[in-house]
Amino acid sequence: AQSVTQLDSQVPVFEEAPVELRCNYSSSVSVYLFWYVQYPNQGLQLLLKYLSGSTLVESINGFEAEFNKSQTSFHLRKPSVHISDTAEYFCAVSDKGNLIFGKGTKLSVKP
């Protein structure tokens, strides 16, 4: 079965600084990868996904993630964060059409 490891449970960062949220998954022949964001008291919102093709995927709000097959990683990055990016971020991998989530990383952006 697939599994996902998010290496940092909490990441504090100052506004306008760059950030990287790390995600590793268990190896598989083919894999689909996702990042979801969860704001307080809300459900999950899809941030970006890798299905095939270019290994670099981008979201509309400045986040990007790179699929690295050799390192089985799918790290999420943003060159300059805003206060509004404060949320919990979940990495997920597909498993027979269902999603296996990591434990989440709480991103806290400070002024």
Partner 1 sequence: DAGVTQSPTHLIKTRGQHVTLRCSPISGHKSVSWYQQVLGQGPQFIFQYYEKEERGRGNFPDRFSARQFPNYSSELNVNALLLGDSALYLCASSYRHSPLGGVLNYGYTFGSGTRLTVV
Residues of the shown chain interacting with partner 1 in the complex, contacts defined by CB under 8 A: 4, 6, 30, 32, 34, 36, 42-46, 49, 51, 90, 92, 94, 96-104
- The distance of closest approach from Cβ of residue 28 to partner 1 in the complex, given in angstroms and rounded to an integer, is 11
CA-to-CA distance for 12 and 24, rounded, in angstroms?
20
Closer to partner 1 by CB, 4 or 109: give it. Answer: 4
* The one-letter amino acid at 99: L
* Smallest distance, partner 1 to C-beta of residue 63, A: 16
**Minimum gap (Å) between residue 29 Cβ and partner 1:** 11
Our CB check for partner 1 shows the closer of 15 and 38 to be 38
CB-CB contact of 105 with 92 (8 Å) = no
Q: How far is the CB of 102 from partner 1 (least distance, A)?
A: 5
Note the Cα 73 to chain centre separation in Å.
10
The candidate with the shortest Cα–Cα distance to 72, out of 12, 9, 18, 7, is: 7
Whole-number Å distance between alpha carbons of 25 and 5: 6
Cβ-based nearer residue to partner 1, 97 or 111:
97
Identify the bridge partners of residue 45 per DSSP, sorted by sequence position: 37
